[in-house]
Structure 1
């Protein structure tokens, strides 16, 4: 079931992967533990049906004893070993649970990353096959990425990591900037949440902008509230955004560039923001606000 692990001089085993950690609330919506300790060491736990040789048990115990303790209410993927074959990448890792109760994870997408966090492969795994992960324990498993799940053929031998694609584990949701969270009335938040939940599902890696309210003010300015929709497994940050506003007649009625100060749209979320086009940026005095489009302005190479 497992390859021979890479070794240094003598019999010392090399752990070639890195660890990734998330809160249990992010993955399974549960973080009931009231921390009684600063860190949690996880005990080795084999799947009940596994039958391993004493040598492999020893290797796993050695590796587990060397893992960094977790904080309370965390779930971790600790990368151990990676081998690449013609049609698969076989990754051995510990799934770790720092909660004081057993957890069971069902289907979730797991991504293989390189040292720069570039995605190398992605696949949905049914982690129900691991059975329940006991309290404060580490369970070794092999994650097999078939060739059709790869995004590159260049797979590093070291510095890689496995990570949960949180977006695939949870429904697409509304995310509000703190200023909106503090000032928006509860009924307006509910309207936005309902809108986000009823919109067509985004494709993997899809990112788009959708205007939800556009109007002209008495002083000639146009305001447009836009929903940034991120279907990617990772967050997207925007520092500067040139935009143009197109009305129902397909006329560009306003355009401008907006500083965003590292505006972040988290993985698998939709986030609203309001843009104000000053009167001098407005090109049409009586726009047709039906079916408006807001789109980034891309610079074309000459």
Structure 2
């Protein structure tokens, strides 16, 4: 909740929120139709029923809340209060604001933390049910912990003018077929691939991994391995060269080789199937067991 809330009561002339306001139309998150409106709504401070907030912090919260600008009707907003580094990640406190004329409860929502120049500092999916029902026309203070693995150390985050926002750009991890695959595969096969990708789910954020899909041996001794190249980054990735090893269930090398892919592009947040053919001279076993195998990038 507000475990890492640090602001103290002091001269009110210097007491302010450090982050920016970030508002979206409520339908973007709830899926419920609500009219666009220019009506201004002043929210009321709402504390989670289970929260135990010291008197001094309560004063600070009330003061900061009273300084917030009004929202337009039917909006959900995040207004950043402060952030603080913790041993296991980044703690970001904010007012979660609801200008809808009824209580709102959110589910899993991906939040994005942007620095003062709108560069991504962290992304993470939070279970917003923990906030409980956010009453109509209210603002509920909360602290979100971005795990260390979701924080980008190279991105500089100043203490002021950052933004905590709902990440509406995040979409379900999808299948990305190369043009040749798109033209050659029957619709039934495409659907099977889509179902496999959906079942696997998205890889970890900022991760590129390879999952084995199919293995075949030809009469001339070549091995064909079809892999799923899974891109967990929020940007397209080009692969120029890829050194691969295929291992059997005893972790013995079946085949290994380096492939030139001519900048094969895997789009952001997608999985692309690709077939790699190991020539006979790259195969390490005469009779490999292809009933169970894994693939890895050779270091």
TM-score, normalized by the shorter chain, greater than 0.5: yes
Corresponding residue of 1:272: 272
- Structure 1 unaligned blocks of 5 or more: none
Give, in angstroms, the shift of residue 89 of structure 1: 6.9
Give, in angstroms, the shift of residue 210 of structure 1: 0.8
CA contact (8 A) 1:252 1:283 kept: yes
Secondary structure of the 1:103 match is coil
Corresponding residue of 1:187: 188
Give, in angstroms, the shift of residue 244 of structure 1: 3.4
Give, in angstroms, the shift of residue 175 of structure 1: 0.5
CA contact (8 A) 2:223 2:283 kept: no
Alignment length (residue pairs)? 276
Matches within 5 A, 1:76-95: 76-82=77-83, 91-95=92-96
> What is the TM-score normalised by the length of structure 1?
0.58
* CA displacement 1:84-116 (0-9 Å, x = unmatched): 799997643232457776431246676756554
Give, in angstroms, the shift of residue 224 of structure 1: 4.4
Give, in angstroms, the shift of residue 11 of structure 1: 3.3
In structure 1, distance between residues paired with 2:84 and 2:69: 20
In structure 1, distance between residues paired with 2:189 and 2:217: 21
Secondary structure of the 2:120 match is coil
Matches within 5 A, 1:281-300: 283-284=282-283, 288=288, 290=290, 291-298=292-299
Give, in angstroms, the shift of residue 256 of structure 1: 1.2
In structure 1, distance between residues paired with 2:79 and 2:18: 10
User: In the alignment, does 2:18 pair up with 1:16?
Assistant: yes
* CA displacement 1:14-65 (0-9 Å, x = unmatched): 4422455678788x5x43427656x786642432778998986464243233
Higher mean displacement: 96-105 or 199-208: 199-208
Matches within 5 A, 1:1-302: 3-4=7-8, 11=13, 14-18=16-20, 30-33=30-33, 36=36, 43-47=42-46, 57=62, 59-65=64-70, 75-82=76-83, 91-97=92-98, 102-106=103-107, 114-115=115-116, 116-119=119-122, 127-134=129-136, 137=137, 139-143=139-143, 145=145, 156-163=158-165, 174-177=173-176, 185-196=186-197, 198-199=199-200, 207-215=208-216, 224-229=225-230, 235=234, 237-247=236-246, 248=248, 250-260=253-263, 263-266=266-269, 271-275=271-275, 283-284=282-283, 288=288, 290=290, 291-298=292-299
CA contact (8 A) 2:245 2:254 kept: yes
- The 1:199/1:92 distance shift into structure 2, 3 A limit, reads closer
- The 1:122/1:199 distance shift into structure 2, 3 A limit, reads closer
- Structure 2 unaligned blocks of 5 or more: none
CA contact (8 A) 1:82 1:157 kept: yes
In structure 1, distance between residues paired with 2:87 and 2:13: 28
> What is the TM-score normalised by the length of structure 2?
0.59
- The 1:272/1:179 distance shift into structure 2, 3 A limit, reads closer
In structure 2, distance between residues paired with 1:159 and 1:89: 16
Secondary structure of the 1:64 match is coil
